[in-house]
Amino acid sequence: MNSESKKPVGKNSSPKKDNPDSKNDNKETFEWKNASKTSFVWIFILVSAVFLSNLFSNPNGDEVEVQYSQYKSFLNKGLITKAQVIDEVFHGELAQTQTIVNRRGASVDLKRFRLKLPFIDRDVMQEWDKNGVDYSFKQQTVDWTGYFLNLLPWVLILGFWIFLMRRMQGGNGGMKSIFNFGKSKAKIWTSDMPKVTFDDVAGCVEAKEELGEVVEFLKKPKQYQKLGAKIPRGVLLVGPPGTGKTLLARAVAGEANVAFFSLSGADFVEMFVGVGASRVRDLFEQGKKNQPCIIFIDELDAVGRQRGAGLGGGHDEREQTLNALLVEMDGFESNEDIILMAATNRPDVLDAALLRPGRFDRQIVVDVPDLKGRLGILEVHTKKIVMNKKKVNLESIAQGTPGMVGADLENIVNEAALLAARRKKKSVDMSDFEEAKDKVMMGVQRSSVVLSDEEKRITAYHEGGHTLVAAKTKGADPVHKVTIIPRGRALGVTMQLPIDEKHGYSREYINGRLAILMGGRAAEELIFNEMTTGAGNDIEQATSIARKMVCEWGMSDVVGPMTFGKKNEEVFLGREIQSQRDYSEDMAKTIDDEVVKIVRKAQATAKRILKKDISKLHGLADALLEKETIDGDDVQSIVYGSKASPSKNGTTKKKSTKKTVAKK
């Protein structure tokens, strides 16, 4: 159970499922089998090619070269039945197999032989006629079959090499992909394709206003150029994943009605040296041929990380690609109508040369949307589904999804549509959205997990402890929903949702947050006089928050307003991988003591609240055992008034009983 009281599933409560590791092992075994089969086929083809080449490259391979004396002996004895003369070379066939001694002194059986005659005249031919030789003459011709069969093994080897190169290049393009390593992989959207405009983007008003200037330049470049103004050549979109950075870039191209080149930073980097730099140059060449245009590079940090941090002096393929990108950005002419846009969620690891004026000199933050932004995003995405507008309150959904980005909200809308389709509804209503929201925020409901009565009772009191402490803590976020139905990786969840958007947190709020986290553990100790593993995630989060209070936020009276643990500036393994120890052993002990003090104080606060209102804790646990899920109104009724009302999310007592029976 985490801050939202997620309780990890124990060994005894986990469903009996196939081991996923075994599935992966089977998959890997299957892939190895396929790979071994493919390798065997290619080895067989190569061996066959060599055999055929040796077999057919010399159609007279069973002929034995003899001396002139042996030829005369065969002729005088009348053993030669057939002969073919090709450019003074006599190819004879004997009536029966003869044994001779070759030049090396070894005995050889032969039926066909050859030798080069010194001359052929009428006397020689009369001698053949006399001894009954059926002879003919033939001109020497080029044996193209032999040449082909000799080349066949090398052709197969070349084909095998091309096959490997295709696999390394993504498997597309055949010979074209082999000889186009250095060509850009950018996807091109032209003006005649379906457009994305600013109307399709919601939740980032400031970013759209900043990008409106770029649109105006692409539409009316002379208006700026005649005044000597220089439009920013590089625009860097910075923000968390899923906030719509890529969509914004496409919207700029759609508004300006210009060509749009899009690719990822990872598309530049290949296993072959120099390929990335070549692709950068080719990308900008394509941009110059299609100006005005926008070149968009997604995940810029994949190729734009700080230089000089690699092994062996840092001169690797990625850095060569970055150098080429820097050179191309400097090579812009003032009259070129090309805008370079890029997106990243890691601006801290980018090379400083990328961020200087003249390159990515304008940074636009695309942040997590506020309430108004989330409402706008929901309105955009709900246009694509059949929705019962009378029964769906989008504002309520927006209020209940704080901290979510555009991708999360799109996922909720899609999940709601899938639920409605599964239930064979004609339109999506509010119940579908509520269930989809719970699924995304709390995890998928795992009805297959059957909890024992004792486990359900412990989970109910654990979640009740979180809930009661949250209800009695001043300034805490209100409890939205509490459930003991296993969801995701948790056996129970206590969900809190803030009333207003928060951008900064007070010390009082954080201390209250710590007390809420420790509420589940305190309830277990208070009721059962026992500790379980269910509070593991809560303790982990509480410890992390307490350490940040001491080391980052300066919220310790003993340590004071200081920061400790400077992030390592080496980016070869990533800046966040390790921290620099910039404090003494004595200070480390002081920090540890303060963290322990803060966490224990939070647990003591939670225990005090629970002891004071122990009856309310029993009431919450009983309601959870009875209904399995209660909402915020139920919590308010139990803590400050009468018993819990019927569940408003469709989970009635009767329905809960059916679920319990089904589990068992």
**Residue 440 banded pLDDT, cuts 50, 70, 90:** confident
* Predicted local distance difference test score (pLDDT) of residue 40: 63
Which phi and psi angles does 241 have, rounded to 5°? -65, 140
Is the pLDDT confidence value at 91 over 80? yes
Length of the chain, in residues:
664
Mean pLDDT of 94-104: 80
Is the pLDDT confidence value at 574 over 60? no
Q: What is the 3-state secondary structure (H, E, C) of 197-226?
A: CHHHCCCCHHHHHHHHHHHHHHHCHHHHHC
- The β-bridge relationship of strands 566-567 and 89-101 is unpaired
* Predicted local distance difference test score (pLDDT) of residue 252: 87
Angle at 540 between CA 534 and CA 541, to 5 degrees: 105
* Highest mean pLDDT pick, 104-118, 271-285, 638-652: 104-118
Residue 20, C-beta contacts closer than 8 angstroms, at least 6 positions apart: none
* Predicted local distance difference test score (pLDDT) of residue 176: 47
Q: Residue 195: which of 265, 264, 263, 249 has the closest Cα? A: 249
Is the pLDDT confidence value at 543 over 60? yes
Rounded CA-CA distance 359/233 in Å is 6
**Residue 595 banded pLDDT, cuts 50, 70, 90:** very high
Q: For the segment 210-255, what is each residue's pLDDT rounded down to a tens digit? A: 888 888 888 887 787 788 777 777 899 998 888 888 888 888 888 8
Is the pLDDT confidence value at 645 over 70? no
| 63 catalytic residue (yes or no) | no
**Residue 512 banded pLDDT, cuts 50, 70, 90:** very high
User: Which value, to the nearest 10 degrees, does the dihedral of the CA atoms of residues 485, 486, 487, 491 take?
Assistant: 120
Which of 72-81, 412-421, 424-433, 647-656 shows the lowest mean pLDDT across its residues?
647-656
Q: For the segment 358-396, what is each residue's pLDDT rounded down to a tens digit? A: 788 888 999 888 888 889 999 989 988 999 888 888 988
* Predicted local distance difference test score (pLDDT) of residue 525: 92
- Higher local confidence (pLDDT), 192 or 100: 100
Query: Which of 270, 463, 524, 525 is labelled catalytic?
Result: 463
One DSSP character per residue, 589-645 reads HHHHHHHHHHHHHHHHHHHHHHHHTHHHHHHHHHHHHHHSEEEHHHHHHHHHSSSPP
Is the pLDDT confidence value at 287 over 90? no
Rounded CA-CA distance 295/218 in Å is 13
Counting residues of the chain whose pLDDT is more than 90, the rounded percentage is: 20
What average pLDDT does the chain have? 78
Is the pLDDT confidence value at 606 over 90? yes
Angle at 26 between CA 20 and CA 29, to 5 degrees: 145
Rounded CA-CA distance 247/197 in Å is 9
Angle at 490 between CA 463 and CA 21, to 5 degrees: 165
Mean pLDDT of 512-526: 94
- Higher local confidence (pLDDT), 473 or 316: 473
